[in-house]
Chain A
Amino acid sequence: MKKIAVQVDDLTVAYNYKPVLWDIDLEIPEGVLMAIVGPNGAGKSTLIKAILGILKPIAGSVSIYGKPYEKQRDLVAYVPQKGSVDWDFPTTALDVVMMGTYGSLGWIKRPSQKEKKAALEALEKVGMLPFKNRQISQLSGGQQQRIFLARALVQDASIYFMDEPFQGVDATTEIAIINILKELRKAGKTVIVVHHDLQTVPEYFDWVTFLNVKKIATGPVKDIFNDDNLTKTYGINYKVSIQE
């Protein structure tokens, strides 16, 4: 049995009495590349945000490798939705990636050459090194997404949470990103991705969680990614041909 990387118990989140997540129990084993799927408003992003403490849950607890999340922050990296920030902010690609080092630096201390080197390496990995001094508003959507990915890579975490990294990126970027995610898994990291495109789930991921306010199912893609669970999650008769 593999180690449990992320454990969620009885997690409930509500906005003004309306539950967005209801009593979620979730165990994510170490080293999986997991998709969280579900319809709009199912609480996929909310789940990630609640796990990371960005949103305050009404009830429930989260542990990372058996300890509370607050004590294990260094092991966790987050890639927010691209649309969550103002890309007209006056800063460069390199500068954004450097932000990934701020956590380990802590308060007041400034990034040094060491941090800069790490940021440049991360930019190289996502193929964005030529754009390091580019003002971020002059990057395409796919490039912005890569910058966010690089920022998480700099954190050198064990667990990566990503909120729709494939949203609004072209096919080339999508392939580049998924290759990086697969490399992370190969290196023993755990990657959790909010995902929209059901067609690509079997191709990209080995683990999946179906979510629609409540947890519908979670497990290996080959065991549970079937019409039955899709119908339960999306409420309509869903047929996806799974290629073996």
Chain B
Amino acid sequence: MLGSFAVLRKQSLLGDAISHAALPGIAIAFLITGAKDSNTLLLGALVSGLLGTFWIRGIITKTHLKSDTALGLILSLFFGFGMLLLTFIQKQPNANQAGLDKYLFGQAATLVESDVWLMAIVTGLCLLVLFLFWKEFKILLFDKDYAKTLGFNTKTIDILITSFIVLAIVLGLQTVGVVLMSAMLLAPAAAARQWTNSLSKMVLLAAIFGAFSGVFGTAISASQNNLSTGPVIVIVASVFVVVSFIFSPSRGLLFRQIRFIANRRDLEQQKTLAFMYHIAETHEDISHPHTIKILNNFQGFTRKTLQKLVDKDYVTIDGTMWSLTQKGFEKAANLYNQQHKTDE
């Protein structure tokens, strides 16, 4: 859901950076408390995720670095630091440390009821904020400068959106883990974008796709042994994306290809017909037969096209000879005049 905003801001990698940036937070939170309480660890993740995000923002606005450079830089810096801390923790004689690496790849099975409640509450909060500030989010995404001239504090809106993206990511960490989290954020949104041209529908669809991926993914992984849930969810989400890319009616590859082929076929027929008209015109009797051979001089002519024209009753064939029908002649005359008009 919130992924829609990341996709539309062309900051798709932000999710990746945030989830990686959360890792040192988890490690530090563990080092400080020495306990593996998931709420404390997620709080640490939240803090370091936010820190990383605002560093990225800072780098982009204060220096001339492009946003992908800034994202990459922070991502690897935080992730490296996080890994360093994790290995340090593993060397410690604290029995508690086992299982911290679940945040790397996620482990949905470790979720307990209180985690689920936390997720539900935060999701509700996200929905509320989204509902209240819908107009502000939309205008910021579309035209930030303009929003500023209308008197909106764009920085506040920006921080609000970003904070919620961070919050959503941190919550997802336990399920899909640091490495795959950004797919969870982006895949539903990218898939949704293919189906609609309205922001509200896109956000709604993304939420539905996301939920379905979660449910299906969990069901699949539960039905098989040795399939961890996080990756399966991500794969299901990716299937949504692939299907959307291919089958979406307006933006999909399949329909675009079909339209393209159909247009080309129509044009071929029209061109052949126009060429025939040109020849037929030189005779008083429009149905005067001509050899098919003569058509071979015309580029783009195929037997198939001729057959199509016969099927449409524009042309009749007698042995190796063809002639235009009255209907075909009129159709061609129309085409011919139209083409002439557009040429002028």
Contact = CB atoms under 8 A, between A and B. Distances in A.
Q: Bound pair: A and B?
A: yes
Interface of A: 16, 49, 52-54, 73, 76-78, 80, 84-86, 89-92, 96, 99, 102-103, 105-111, 135, 137, 151, 155
Contacts of A111: 135
Interface string B171-208: 00000000000000000000001001111011000000
Contacts of B198: 90-92
A49 B145 CA distance: 9
Contacts of B135: 102, 105, 108-111
A90 B197 contact: yes
A108 B146 contact: no
B133 A108 contact: yes
11 contacts: A16-B64, A78-B149, A86-B8, A89-B142, A89-B199, A90-B201, A91-B142, A99-B150, A102-B136, A105-B135, A106-B151
Given A90-B196, A90-B198, A85 B152 contact: no
Contacts of B193: 90
A54 B146 CA distance: 8
* Most chain A C-beta atoms within 10 Å of own C-beta, residue among B134, B142, B148: B142
A99 B8 contact: no
A91 B197 contact: yes
B143 A80 contact: yes
A170 B295 CA distance: 41
Contact of B149 (A76, A84, A89, A108): A76
Contact of B136 (A49, A78, A107, A151): A107
Contacts of B141: 89
B143 A54 contact: no
Nearest to B199: A90
A135 B196 CA distance: 10
Contacts of A77: 149
A91 B141 CA distance: 11
B77 interface: no
B132 A90 contact: no
A135 B152 contact: no
Secondary structure class of chain B's binding surface, majority of residues? helix
B331 interface: no
Interface string B22-59: 00000000000000000000000000000000000000
Contact of B143 (A16, A85, A108): A85
Nearest to B143: A85
Contact of A54 (B139, B145, B151): B145
A102 B150 contact: yes
* Most chain B C-beta atoms within 10 Å of own C-beta, residue among A91, A96, A135, A137: A91
B288 interface: no
A103 B132 contact: no
A48 to B, nearest CB: 10
Contacts of A109: 135
A137 B193 CA distance: 13
Contacts of B202: 90
Contact of B146 (A78, A86, A105, A107): A78
A56 to B, nearest CB: 11
A92 B151 contact: no
A91 B148 contact: no
Given A54-B145, A89-B8, A102 B139 contact: yes
Given A80-B143, A92-B198, A53 B148 contact: yes
A76 B132 CA distance: 26
Nearest to B151: A73
Nearest to A84: B145
B154 to A, nearest CB: 9
B149 A52 contact: yes
Contacts of B132: 108
B138 interface: yes
Contacts of B142: 85-86, 89, 91, 96, 99
A99 B149 contact: no
A99 B146 contact: yes
A91 B199 contact: yes
Nearest 10 A-B pairs (CB), nearest first?
A103-B150, A135-B197, A78-B149, A73-B151, A54-B145, A52-B149, A85-B143, A90-B197, A90-B199, A89-B142
Given A54-B145, A78-B146, A78-B149, A99 B199 contact: no
Interface string B113-156: 00000000000000000001111101101110111111110000
Given A91-B199, A137-B197, 8 more contacts: A77-B149, A89-B199, A90-B196, A91-B197, A102-B136, A105-B135, A108-B135, A111-B135
Contacts of A54: 145, 148-149
Given A90-B199, A102-B135, A84 B143 contact: yes
